[in-house]
């Protein structure tokens, strides 16, 4: 004990204590002088010292001295044990008999002295399952724990538990999310699981593909493929559209753990949703084969509607159609006008002619497939087109192209189309007799079909469309045609003759239209003459083109798919729009949604109205990966679309990653352990360094004890006894 | 066999029709192309009445266009004006200003797809018809001026590759026009093309072409055909597919 360990905590103010001391000393001196004469110097001194002793003891008591003792104390650390439970831990473990998770469990639970038990004896241990989310688990749950779900976020877990634990232990194969942060203050000891040397797998690690492609333009899809344990092996990479092989390429790895990026290109020929798959056939000895394939959806659209129009002669019909097409930025028009026939005389040298040859060979033998729509405008085709070109037109329409014939004196080419593919394509019958009339004027009216058809129905209000067409200026020239049973007449003569003016139909995958007049331009100028806008003609032309080219904007039912590819377990939402003629608020339940999973089985779905007319929100739970078929049915139409859901292990890179774990442990200030190490010893040794220390301070009052009181009483009693004996009392 | 009474009745009916209904109805029997000449008040609206036959004959001979060998007459108040594909206006002298309503109609016709070919057959710059017409155009389209058409304008390439205007007289070596976007709905000439086309009933040219003679007349026909083809095809010759041919022939 030293003086430094003594401290005082006065019970009175110090000035009062010193004042009392002074009074006590003064009284003792006065007393000494008074009793010295009577008792002599020695006895007076003895009594005075006794008194002084009492005074000093009392003053000391008032100062309340105490002894401070300091002692260093240690606290056993709280240890968080993370057990990786993500899907990669379900793969085969080191021993080969169980999964990686089983391997981790064995480390914790098995052996003569299980690590878990030993840890629990020495430390305050808490267990956590690190899967898609961090989950606290009891020790009893460990044996029944199963692997599954996406990789866990280790950074988030450590940040969450940093303040509550002084050490963390991780058992993992290294497939987890990790962001290196400098603020991490929870050291991590890592026990690697799995055997990287024995792991063999091929996986499609990443696919870089555009969300949308243009028809007729090459699409390049970059595929990154990673291989473990397949050095020097040549593997095929296959790009498929359904079961149709689009492209195949070979790759080989120059190392046992290597990544190769291969571009796969193809040119989509049809618009619409393409359900593509990229795959590598499963290889012998692969640990995981479900990551050999990736499914993706690619929406193929046309950048512009490409129209090839050939007109039999310069005409107002040509000029107004050209104006309408040129005004539409989504249309790319290539037109040819026959400025002179072979019988016309031009009488000038070639240098003074602007006429160019009609490149029929190139157009009909090579380039026709590049167009979406072919228009014959009053074309006497026998002068320019060989029968083989007409065959090409037939093939073009059969394959999905649009074809329109615009009327005039040469619509039927004096019956020369009879017996050709053109006759077969058209939705009207052709007759040998001249069928063009220009001797009167004819108004048009909407047919029953025309009242609902997207080409002629301009408004949800049926009466409005009927009146609009009836008000149109009369046509001064028409072709007298008879519709085929397969054709649908949309506009007909208004004089009761039931002559079709506008007839549409389908042929193969394509759509066809016949406009039996070369005076439709009057529908433009007629409205202008009345002081009205010219939109009716322009919209008519636009809709004609869009319908012929199967533009989805005219489809009665439209589906808006989610922008992001969904994943298993996710609730997928799709938006459905139904045109007015297919939807009536009074006929609820007329729209139905059916969802079929990749196995073709119907799955549960919900459909509810959004509150906006004709708009619905459909949803279903994606229980497995693959391509789902969505089928929407209304009173008059139906639509099928496809939605791709990524499989749970589609892009899983499950290779054990000990080096990554080593890096993670180092960055947290922890330690990377080996299964061969004495784990308990290592953990204990590390725990010692991370033990918490603190100084315990104890305050022991020196005067607050019985012997001090006894001493005071003794001194007072001794003084009283001596005084009495010496005759002072 | 027809009786004398019936024959005389039919003859009388035919004469009456010719006398009282000299023009064809606009609502029936439209061919693909025909001239519609604009009648207006004051000045002289019809300086070359016989121009149609020869140019239509040439048009049908040289091109695939089916034309009507007879002109139609119209006024700005005619409701059928908008169904006339090619409006022709000619004159020599100053004419009465159009009414506000007429100007509105002509503006609407020009703006919404009509085509107007105008000729000052006098060819006096700044006087008479030229002065009155330019004034009217300023009133009708104040934000658009009559400008010289560049040599590469579609009207010089629509059928023939020519920059030679031709005409009865050679006042200008260019055409003027009002262009809206890429379309020129108003083309103006002071060379009297229709004077060069005019032919009498016996097939003789009614006017001499000076100073170029018959070559100048030939150019007038070519330019006339080009203007008609342009009115029916717009800037078709500006399409890319024509470029290499036209440039090659022009040695560009």
pLDDT tens string for chain B (252 positions)?
444 444 444 444 444 433 333 333 343 345 679 999 999 999 999 999 999 999 999 999 999 998 888 999 999 999 899 998 799 999 999 999 999 999 999 999 999 999 999 999 999 889 999 999 999 999 999 999 999 999 999 999 999 999 899 999 999 999 999 999 889 999 999 999 999 999 998 999 999 999 999 999 999 999 999 999 999 999 998 888 888 887 777 765
CA torsion sign, A607 to A610 to A616 to A620?
Answer: negative
Give which of B31, B34, B158, B236 to mutate to test A binding, by max A Cβ within 10 Å.
B236
Report how far residue B13's alpha carbon sits from residue A238's, in angstroms, rounded to the nearest whole number.
Answer: 85
Contact list in A for residue B34 (CB cut-off 8 A) is none
DSSP state, residue A363: I
8 Å CB contact of B64 and A409? no
Residues 6+ apart with CB under 8 A from A5: A67, A68, A69
Distance (Å, whole) CA A500 – CA A457: 17
CB contact under 8 A, A312 and B160: no
For residue A519, the 8-state DSSP code is -
Restricting to A residues 341-360, those with a Cβ less than 8 Å away from any Cβ of B are: 341, 344-348, 350-356
Edge-to-edge strands, sheet with B116-120 = B72-74, B36-38, B87-91, B116-120, B183-189, B176-180, B147-148
List the structure tokens of A660.
Answer: 């990554």
Q: The domain spanning residue A584 has which CATH number?
A: 2.60.40.10
Whether A254 is in a domain gets the answer: yes
Q: Do B108 and A531 touch (CB under 8 A)?
A: yes
Question: Which among A574, A580, A639 has a CA at the least distance from the CA of A614?
Answer: A580
Q: Look at A354 and B160 and tell me if their CB atoms are within 8 Å.
A: yes
* Residue of chain B whose alpha carbon sits nearest to that of A319: B233
> What CA–CA distance (Å, rounded) separates A669 from A688?
14
CA distance B119 to B193: 8
Whether A653 is in a domain gets the answer no
Q: Which residues of chain A have a CB within 8 Å of the CB of B222?
A: 348, 352
Dihedral pair phi/psi, residue A171, rounded to 5°: -115, 110
Residues of chain B contacting A522 with CB distance shorter than 8 Å: 83
Instruction: Identify the closest residue of chain A to B234 by CA–CA distance.
Output: A319
Q: Are residues A28 and A152 in the same domain?
A: no
Contact A339 B161 (CB under 8 A): no
Query: Which residues touch A261 (CB under 8 Å, ≥6 apart)?
Result: A222, A223, A224, A225
pLDDT score for B108: 94
**Contact between chains at A529 and B61 (C-beta distance less than 8 A):** no
B161·A352 Cβ contact <8 A? yes
Residue of A193, A233, A201, A133 lying closest to A652 (CA atoms): A201
Both A673 and A708 in a single domain? no
- B62–A344 CB contact, under 8 Å: yes
Q: Is A628 left (phi over 0), alpha (psi -120 to 50) or beta?
A: beta
Q: Does a structural domain hold residue A213?
A: yes
List chain A residues with CB under 8 Å of B79.
529
CB-CB contact of A505 with A511 (8 Å): yes
- Chain A residues with CB inside 8 Å of B58's CB? none
pLDDT of residue A1: 61
Task: Map residue A449 onto helix, strand or coil.
Answer: coil
CA–CA separation, A710 and A61 (whole Å): 13
CB contact under 8 A, B62 and A346: yes
Question: Residue A262's closest CA among A222, A321, A209?
Answer: A222
Cα dist from A218 to A206, A213, A294, A416, whole Å: 20, 8, 20, 40
**What residues of chain B lie within 8 A of the CB of A477, using their CB?**
30
pLDDT at A681: 83
- Note if the pTM is more than 0.80: no
For residues B106 and B93, give the distance between their C-alpha atoms in angstroms, rounded to a whole number.
Answer: 20
d(CA A530, nearest CA chain B) in Å:
9
**Strand runs labelled E in A110-229:** 124-130, 134-137, 167-172, 188-192, 201-208, 212-214, 219-228
- State in Å, rounded, how far the first CA of chain A is from the last one: 43
Q: Which positions in chain A touch B28 (Cβ < 8 Å)? A: 439-441, 476
Q: Which chain B residues contact residue A521 at CB under 8 A?
A: 113
Q: Which of A339, A438, A440 is closest, CB to CB, to B229?
A: A339
Does some domain include residue A401? Answer: yes
A340, A312 contact by CB (below 8 A): no
Indicate yes or no: CB of A354 within 8 angstroms of CB of B161: yes
* Contact assignment for B233 to A319 by CB distance below 8 Å: yes
User: How many CA atoms lie within 13 Å of A272's alpha carbon, on the beta-carbon side?
Assistant: 14
In degrees, rounded to 5, the angle at the alpha carbon of residue B63 between the alpha carbons of residues B117 and B65 is 65
Residue whose pair of structure tokens reads 């009217």 in the numeric block: B136
Alpha helices, H only, A245-296: none
Of the three residues A498, A519, A548, the one that is the final residue of a domain is: A548
Structure tokens at B129: 């018809």
- 3 state DSSP class of A442: strand
Q: How far, in Å, CA of A478 to CA of A438, rounded?
A: 7
- Residues of chain A short of pLDDT 50, as ranges, are 582-587
| Rounded to 5°, angle at Cα B74 from B203 and B95 | 90
Residues in A touching B87 (Cβ below 8 Å): none
Alpha-carbon span A697 to A676, nearest angstrom: 44
Query: How many residues comprise chain B?
Result: 252
User: Does A122 lie in the same domain as A267?
Assistant: no
* Residues A139 and A266 occupy one common structural domain: no
Q: Are the Cβ atoms of B233 and A322 closer than 8 angstroms?
A: yes
Please give the C-alpha separations between residue A439 and each of A145, A515, B26, B28, in angstroms, as whole numbers. Answer: 90, 18, 11, 6
Nearest residue in chain A measured CA to CA from B235: A319
pLDDT for residue B136? 96
How far apart are alpha carbons A641 and A273 in whole angstroms?
A: 7
For domain B29-249, the CATH architecture is 3-Layer(aba) Sandwich (3.40)
Give CA separation, A216 vs A245, A264, A430, A577, B64, in Å.
17, 16, 34, 28, 35
Residue B108 φ then ψ, to 5°: -65, -40
CA distance A26 to A19: 11
- Say how far apart CA A571 and CA A430 lie, in whole Å: 55
Which ipTM did the prediction report? 0.88
What's the CA gap between B76 and A482, in Å, rounded? 40
Exposure string for A310-335, b = 16+ CB within 10 A, e = fewer: bbbbbbbbbbbbbbbbbebeebbbbb
Q: Give the residue extent of every domain in chain B.
A: 29-249
Of B65, B83, B236, the CB nearest to A525: B83
Chain B: residue whose CA lies nearest to A317 = B232
Cβ neighbour number for residue A140 with a 10 Å cutoff? 8
Q: Which residues of chain A have a CB within 8 Å of the CB of B239? A: 334-335
Answer whether the bond into residue A486 is a cis peptide, omega within 30°: no
Residue of B nearest to A443 (CA): B27
Same domain, A126 and A14: no
Claim to verify: residue A578 and residue A500 sit in the same structural domain: no
Instruction: Report yes or no on A112 lying in a domain.
Output: yes
Strands (E), A42-86: 65-75, 78-84
- Residue A185 makes CB contacts below 8 A (sequence gap 6+) with A162
Q: Which of A354, A438, A474 sits opposite B159 (nearest CB)?
A: A354
Residue A32 carries which DSSP code? H
CB contact under 8 A, B237 and A313: no
Mark whether A150 and A258 lie in a shared domain. Answer: no
pLDDT of A214 reads 86
Q: Which residues of chain B does A347 touch, with a Cβ-Cβ cutoff of 8 Å? A: 62
Rounded CA-CA distance B19/B14 in Å is: 9
Q: Do A339 and A416 lie in a common domain? A: yes
Cβ within 8 Å of B, A 504-533: 518-519, 521-522, 524-526, 528-529, 531
Q: Do B29 and A522 touch (CB under 8 A)?
A: no
Asked whether the beta carbons of A409 and A318 are under 8 A apart, the reply is no
Range of the domain at A474: 305-346+354-548
**Alpha-carbon span B137 to B115, nearest angstrom:** 14
Partner residue facing A313 (CB), from B32, B183, B241: B32
Q: Would you list which residues of chain B are within 8 Å, Cβ to Cβ, of chain A?
A: 27-33, 61-66, 79, 81-83, 85, 108-109, 112-114, 157-162, 183, 222, 229, 231-234, 236-237, 239, 241-242, 245-246, 249-250
Same domain assignment for residues A634 and A675:
no
Q: How many CB pairs under 8 A join A and B?
A: 128
- What is the rounded radius of gyration, in angstroms, for the C-alpha atoms of chain A? 48
Total count of domains within chain A: 5
B6-9 LR contacts (CB < 8 Å, sep 24+):
none
Residue environment code for A28-49, b if the CB has 16+ CB neighbours within 10 A, otherwise e: beeebeebbeebeeebbebbbe
Domain annotation covers residue A655: no
B112 contact residues in A (CB cutoff 8 A): 524-525, 528, 534
CATH of the domain at A116: 3.40.50.410
Q: Is B81 in contact with A323 (Cβ distance < 8 A)?
A: no
β-strands A671-672, A188-192 pairing:
parallel
Tell me whether residue A654 is in a domain. no
- Quick one: which H or E segment has residue A617? strand A615-621
Residues A228 and A268 in one domain: yes
Helix (H) or strand (E) holding A507: strand A500-507
Report if residue A652 sits inside a domain: no
Give phi and psi for A21, each to the nearest 5.
Answer: -60, -45
Residues A462 and A541 both lie in one domain: yes
Mutate to test the interface with B, among A354, A473, A526 (most CBs of B within 10 A): A354
Contact B64 A341 (CB under 8 A): yes
Query: CA-CA distance, A719 to A396, in Å (whole number)?
Result: 136
Instruction: Please answer yes or no on whether A337 and B241 come within 8 Å at the CB atom.
Output: no
Same domain, A133 and A235: no
d(CA B231, CA A693): 100
Nearest CA in chain B to A350: B249
Contacts of A349 (CB under 8 A, 6+ apart): none
Q: What confidence score (pLDDT) does residue A95 get?
A: 62
């Amino acid at each position: 004990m030293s003086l430094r360990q003594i401290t005082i905590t006065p019970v009175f103010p110090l000035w009062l204590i010193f004042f009392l001391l002074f009074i006590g000393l003064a009284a003792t001196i006065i007393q000494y002088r008074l009793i010295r004469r009577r008792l002599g110097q020695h006895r007076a001194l003895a009594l005075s010292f006794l008194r002084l002793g009492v005074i000093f003891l009392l003053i000391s008591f008032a100062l309340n001295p105490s002894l401070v003792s300091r002692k260093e104390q240690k606290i056993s650390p709280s240890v968080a044990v993370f057990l990786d439970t993500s899907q990669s831990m379900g793969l085969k473990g080191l021993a080969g008999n169980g999964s990686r998770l089983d391997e981790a469990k064995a480390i914790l639970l098995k052996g003569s002295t299980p690590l878990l038990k030993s840890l629990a004896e020495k430390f305050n241990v808490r267990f956590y399952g690190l899967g898609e989310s961090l989950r606290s688990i009891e020790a009893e749950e460990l044996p029944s724990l199963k692997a599954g779900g996406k990789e866990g976020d280790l950074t988030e877990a450590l940040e969450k538990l940093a303040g509550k634990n002084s050490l963390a232990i991780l058992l993992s194969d290294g497939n987890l999310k990790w962001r290196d942060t400098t603020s991490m203050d929870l050291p991590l000891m890592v026990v690697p699981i799995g055997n990287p040397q024995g792991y063999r797998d091929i996986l499609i690690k990443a696919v870089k593909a555009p969300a949308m492609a243009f028809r007729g333009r090459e699409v390049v899809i970059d595929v990154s493929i990673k291989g473990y344990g397949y050095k020097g092996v040549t593997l095929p990479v296959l790009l498929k559209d359904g079961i149709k092989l689009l492209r195949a390429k070979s790759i080989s790895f120059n190392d046992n753990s290597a990544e190769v990026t291969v571009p796969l290109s193809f040119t989509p020929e049809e618009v619409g949703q393409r359900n593509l798959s990229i795959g590598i056939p499963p290889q012998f000895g692969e640990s995981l084969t479900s990551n050999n394939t990736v499914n993706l959806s690619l929406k193929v659209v046309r950048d512009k509607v490409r129209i090839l129009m050939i007109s039999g002669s310069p005409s107002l019909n040509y000029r107004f159609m050209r104006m309408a097409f040129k005004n539409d930025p989504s249309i790319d028009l290539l037109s040819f006008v026959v400025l002179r026939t072979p019988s016309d005389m031009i009488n000038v040298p070639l240098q003074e002619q602007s006429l160019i040859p009609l490149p029929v060979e190139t157009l009909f033998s090579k380039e026709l497939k590049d167009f979406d729509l072919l228009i014959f405008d009053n074309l006497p085709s026998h002068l320019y087109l060989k029968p083989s070109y007409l065959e090409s037109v037939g093939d073009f329409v059969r394959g999905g192209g649009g074809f329109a014939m615009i009327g005039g004196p040469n619509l039927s080419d004096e019956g020369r189309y009879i017996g050709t593919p053109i006759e077969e394509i058209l939705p009207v019958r052709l007759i040998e007799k001249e069928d063009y009339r220009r001797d009167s004027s004819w108004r048009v009216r909407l047919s029953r079909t025309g009242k609902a058809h997207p080409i002629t129905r301009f408004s949800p209000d049926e009466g409005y469309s009927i009146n609009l067409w009836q008000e149109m200026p009369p046509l001064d020239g028409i072709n007298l045609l008879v519709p085929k049973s397969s054709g649908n007449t949309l506009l007909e003569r208004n004089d009761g003759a039931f002559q079709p003016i506008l007839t549409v139909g389908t042929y193969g995958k394509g759509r066809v239209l016949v406009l039996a007049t070369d005076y439709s331009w009057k529908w433009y100028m007629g409205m202008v003459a009345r002081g009205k806008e010219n939109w009716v003609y322009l919209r008519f032309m636009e809709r004609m083109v869009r319908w012929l080219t199967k533009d989805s904007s005219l489809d009665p039912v439209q589906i808006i798919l989610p922008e992001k590819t969904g994943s298993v377990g996710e609730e997928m939402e799709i938006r459905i729009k139904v045109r007015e003629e297919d939807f009536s608020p009074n006929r609820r339940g007329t729209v139905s949604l059916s969802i079929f999973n990749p196995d073709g089985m119907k799955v549960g779905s919900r459909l509810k109205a959004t509150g906006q007319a004709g708009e619905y929100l459909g949803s279903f739970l994606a229980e497995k990966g693959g391509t789902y078929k969505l089928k929407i049915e209304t009173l008059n139409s139906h639509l099928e679309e496809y939605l791709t859901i990524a499989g749970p292990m589609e892009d899983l890179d499950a290779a054990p990653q000990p080096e990554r774990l080593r890096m993670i442990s180092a960055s947290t200030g922890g330690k990377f352990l080996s299964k061969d190490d004495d784990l308990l010893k290592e953990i204990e040794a590390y725990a010692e360094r991370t033990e918490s220390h603190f100084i315990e301070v104890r305050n022991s009052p020196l005067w607050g004890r019985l012997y001090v009181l006894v001493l005071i009483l003794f001194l007072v009693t001794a003084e009283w006894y001596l005084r009495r004996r010496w005759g002072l009392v | 066999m027809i009786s004398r009474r019936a024959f005389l009745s039919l003859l009388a009916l035919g004469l009456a029709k010719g006398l009282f209904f000299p023009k064809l109805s606009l609502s029936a029997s439209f061919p693909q192309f025909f001239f519609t000449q604009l009648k207006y008040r004051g000045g002289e609206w019809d300086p070359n009445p016989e121009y149609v036959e020869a140019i239509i004959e040439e048009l049908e001979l040289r091109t695939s266009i089916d034309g009507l060998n007879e002109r139609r007459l119209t006024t700005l108040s005619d409701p059928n004006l908008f169904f006339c594909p090619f409006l022709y206006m000619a004159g020599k002298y100053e004419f009465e200003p159009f009414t506000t309503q007429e100007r509105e109609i002509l503006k609407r016709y020009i703006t919404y797809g009509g085509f107007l070919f105008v000729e000052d057959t006098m060819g006096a710059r700044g006087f008479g018809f030229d002065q009155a017409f330019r004034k009217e155009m300023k009133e009708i389209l104040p934000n658009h001026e009559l400008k010289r058409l560049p040599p590469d304008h579609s009207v010089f390439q629509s059928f023939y590759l020519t920059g030679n205007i031709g005409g009865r007289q050679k006042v200008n070596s260019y055409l003027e026009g009002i262009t809206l976007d890429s379309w020129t709905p108003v083309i103006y000439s002071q060379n009297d093309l229709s004077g060069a086309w005019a032919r009498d009933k016996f097939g003789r040219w009614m006017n001499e072409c000076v100073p170029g003679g018959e070559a100048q007349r030939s150019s007038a026909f070519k330019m006339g055909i080009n203007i008609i083809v342009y009115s029916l095809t717009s800037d078709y010759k500006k399409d890319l597919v024509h470029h290499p041919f036209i440039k090659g022939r022009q040695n560009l």
